[in-house]
Amino acid sequence: METTLIILKPDAVQRGLTGQIISRFENKGLQVVGMKLMQISQQLAATHYEAHQSKPFYAGLVKFMTSSPVVVMALKGNGAITIARNMMGATFGSKANPGTIRGDFGVSNSFNLIHGSDSPEAAERELKLFFAPGEVLTWPRHGDQWIYDMSGGKIE
């Protein structure tokens, strides 16, 4: 089981898409184990996107991410990182396939609605940036027996 960070960016919040996007993840079978509405500070945005600091889009990205509240989520599931990224679709809404979050809700090459961790290492780093100890919960979800085939003694 993996836990991944998802950020519903300012454009998703301002457009009132948060409920629809969260529902997609829950409908898929991913478990919300942490979630909050927050305003990202300049420092947090700079730290989160430090790998892009030398790129021409960096300043605009930090400005965008601090322009309005975001919803940050920790999602848990078997293969959660890959599943979430596939659900998000291509980076630019104009190139994202229909049926994906960006494909269904986005057309912009600048405003792309959502961020998701791209690896287990990134997820671990990012979750620590956005959630304090104790804010990502472990709780039994009784419906998991209907999401995952566990008859062989392991999750499939």
CATH number of the domain that 87 lies in?
Answer: 3.30.70.141
Residue 49 domain-assigned (yes or no) = yes
Assigned domain for 123 exists: yes
- Which of the four pLDDT bands, split at 50, 70 and 90, describes residue 142? confident
- Per-residue pLDDT tens for 60-117? 999 999 999 999 999 999 999 999 999 999 999 999 999 999 999 999 888 999 999 9
Contact at 8 Å (CB) between 76 and 1?
Answer: yes
What are the two backbone dihedrals, phi and then psi, of residue 9, each rounded to the nearest 5 degrees? Answer: -70, 170
- Give the phi and the psi of residue 104 in degrees, each rounded to 5: -85, -30
For residue 156, tell me if it sits in a domain: no
Residues labelled as active-site residues: 115
- Neighbouring C-beta atoms of residue 61, cutoff 10 Å: 16
Both tokens of 33, joined, read 């184990």
Model-level pTM? 0.94
| Res 75: pLDDT | 98
The pLDDT score that the predictor gives to residue 17 is: 98
Domain that holds residue 41: 2-147
Going by pLDDT thresholds of 50, 70 and 90, the confidence category of residue 11 is very high
Rounded mean pLDDT, 8-28? 98
Indicate if the pLDDT at residue 31 is higher than 90.
yes
Q: Is residue 127 part of a domain?
A: yes
Based on the structure, what is the number of domains in the chain? 1
